[in-house]
Amino acid sequence: MCLAVPGKIVECADEQAVVDFQGNRMKISTVLTPEATVGTWVLVHAGFAISTLDEHDAMETWDYLQSLKDANQDSDPS
């Protein structure tokens, strides 16, 4: 399964950016999203920002991912 994760651009130079994923930061390529600038929320897959999105949608996605994590922990017998 492939998953794109939302993050917020905190640094941007040329076609590269640093994205914050709820406290974790990663350098990514913005070649597919040239409109993205500092403060833009992007969906990141395999080191590339593949689209932009608004903050509400980003937070909704993070909430969903957290609920999956919580459900998985609840079902883990260890």
Per-residue pLDDT tens over the stretch 21-72: 999 999 999 999 999 999 999 999 999 999 999 999 999 998 988 888 888 8
- Give the pLDDT of residue 73: 83
d(CA 3, CA 44): 9
Token digits of residue 26: 């990663």
Contacts of 23 (CB under 8 A, 6+ apart): none
CATH of 5-73, one of 3.40.50.720, 2.30.30.140, 3.40.640.10, 3.90.1170.50: 2.30.30.140
